[in-house]
């Protein structure tokens, strides 16, 4: 029988969302809870925000566990996996959504090399290491092939290239995550599905304060002529985790309203 998605298509599932204190991670945690999943909410430093997300998950009738972990440290990565695994009955879906913000706040003042290193440590190395740790444990579980999954975070313009310092940084970082995702999907097949989200212009913290130039550019480069929202990405994440995506692995799914390059204008 072909699996079908329902409003409770994740009932009884355990999902871990890293970087779930705000932005896309927060939206995904809440969306998966609405679909019936119990959620492990990871945060690196947004303790109060993570507790607020946990409260929102519980208001939806689901269980929540908050874990604080510094993803730049291998021992903290291992502790996160251990806490998530021992909470209930293992983990069904692991979503690596944590990332470093180098566009706002103090990090925006760092040098090119310093920004690249911070992003490399969390967005790439933590994603790689957590995925491998989680993948090993998932392989050992006695569950049906394809019912467990890992979802990573890429960027749509890593496919196309983007001029400027930020473009050079993020294509390097997210392109690495996307390439890793394709390879890990092959390594963990057929038991575990591995996919990657590739959002476009999403109105998170940076988008809220972006200049008029970037506000206009975000809309001009989208066929639907608007900013995306964290909820737009969360809906696709829910699909990738659900039984409806049982035959989807090794894919990079762009969530960008249709990318329109300069040549298309």
DSSP letters, the chain, are ------TTTTTT-EEEETTTTSHHHHHHHHHHHHTT-EEEEEESS-HHHHHHHHHHHHHTT--EEEEE--TTSHHHHHHHHHHHHHHTT--SEEE-------SSSGGGGS-HHHHHHHHIIIIIIIHHHHHHHHHHHHHHS-S-TTSEEEEEE--GGGTT---SHHHHHHHHHHHHHHHHHHHHHHHHTTTEEEEEEEE-SB-SHHHHH--HHHHHHHHHTBTT-S-B-HHHHHHHHHHHHSGGGTT--S-EEEESSSB--GGG-
Q: Given a cut of 90, is residue 118 above it in pLDDT? A: yes
With a threshold of 0.85, does the pTM exceed it?
yes
User: Is the pLDDT higher at 207 or at 129?
Assistant: 129
Tell me the C-alpha distance between 176 and 259, whole Å: 20
Mean pLDDT of 192-216: 87
Supply the CATH classification number for the domain 14-264: 3.40.50.720
- What integer best gives the mean pLDDT of the chain? 92
Give the pLDDT score at 5: 46
**pLDDT confidence tier of residue 151, bands split at 50, 70 and 90:** very high
pLDDT value of residue 59: 98
- Looking at residue 8, its pLDDT comes to 56
d(CA 27, CA 218): 21
pLDDT band at 149 (very low <50, low <70, confident <90, very high): very high
φ/ψ of 41, rounded to 5, equals -105, 110
Distance between CA 28 and CA 236 in Å, rounded? Answer: 9
Asked if pLDDT for residue 94 goes beyond 80, the answer is yes
Q: Give the pLDDT score at 264.
A: 57
């Amino acid at each position: 029988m072909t699996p079908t998605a329902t409003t409770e298509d994740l009932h009884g599932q355990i999902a871990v969302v890293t970087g779930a204190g705000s932005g896309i991670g927060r939206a995904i945690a809440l969306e998966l809870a609405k679909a019936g999943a119990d959620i492990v909410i990871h945060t690196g430093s947004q303790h109060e925000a993570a507790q607020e997300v946990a409260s929102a998950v519980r208001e939806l009738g689901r269980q929540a566990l908050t874990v604080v972990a510094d993803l730049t440290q291998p021992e903290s990565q291992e502790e996160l996996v251990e806490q998530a695994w021992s909470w209930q009955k293992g983990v069904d879906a692991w979503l690596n959504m944590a990332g470093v913000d180098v566009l706002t706040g103090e990090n925006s003042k760092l040098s090119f090399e310093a920004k690249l290193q911070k992003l490399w440590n969390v967005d790439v190395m933590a994603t790689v290491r957590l995925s491998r740790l989680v993948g090993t444990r998932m392989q050992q579980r006695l569950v049906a092939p394809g019912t467990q999954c890992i979802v990573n975070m890429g960027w749509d313009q890593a496919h196309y290239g983007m001029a400027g310092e930020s473009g050079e940084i993020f294509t390097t970082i997210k392109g690495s995550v996307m390439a890793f995702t394709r390879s890990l999907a092959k390594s963990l097949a057929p038991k575990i599905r591995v996919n990657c989200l590739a959002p476009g212009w999403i109105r998170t913290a940076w988008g809220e304060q972006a200049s008029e130039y970037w506000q206009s550019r975000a809309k001009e480069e989208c066929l639907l002529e608007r900013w995306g929202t964290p909820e737009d990405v969360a809906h696709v994440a829910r699909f990738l985790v659900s039984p409806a995506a049982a035959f989807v692995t090794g894919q990079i799914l762009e969530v960008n309203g249709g990318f329109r390059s300069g040549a298309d204008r």
